[in-house]
């Protein structure tokens, strides 16, 4: 399964990726994310792999992903 989404953000790349690349900040701006963990951190974030647990009420889902761009 592949999921794709794009959003225009009126900010610098450094500011945006500072929030996206920090697991501690992810749980602040993504309210459904219960936990997040970087599995492998690649230079410039592309290639970085991660695992997140997303919850909705009493149900949860663990997802793994890779930063592709």
DSSP for 16-56 reads: HHHHHT-HHHHHHH-TTEEEEEEEEPPTTSTT-EEEEEEEE
Share the mean pLDDT of the chain: 86
Average pLDDT estimate for 34-47: 88
Helix (H) or strand (E) holding 64: strand 59-66
Does the structure show a pLDDT above 90 at 39? yes
E strand or H helix at 15, and its extent? Answer: helix 13-20
Q: Is the pLDDT of residue 20 over 80?
A: no
- Whether the Cβ atoms of residue 39 and residue 54 lie closer than 8 Å to each other: no
Q: How confident is the model at residue 11 (pLDDT cuts 50, 70, 90)?
A: very high
Provide the pLDDT for residue 12: 93
């Amino acid at each position: 399964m592949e999921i794709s989404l794009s959003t225009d953000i009126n900010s610098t790349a450094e500011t945006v990726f500072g929030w996206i690349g920090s697991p501690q900040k992810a749980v602040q701006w993504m309210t459904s994310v219960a936990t997040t963990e970087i599995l492998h951190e690649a230079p410039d974030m592309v290639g970085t792999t991660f695992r997140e647990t997303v919850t909705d009420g009493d149900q949860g889902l663990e997802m793994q992903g890779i930063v592709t761009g």
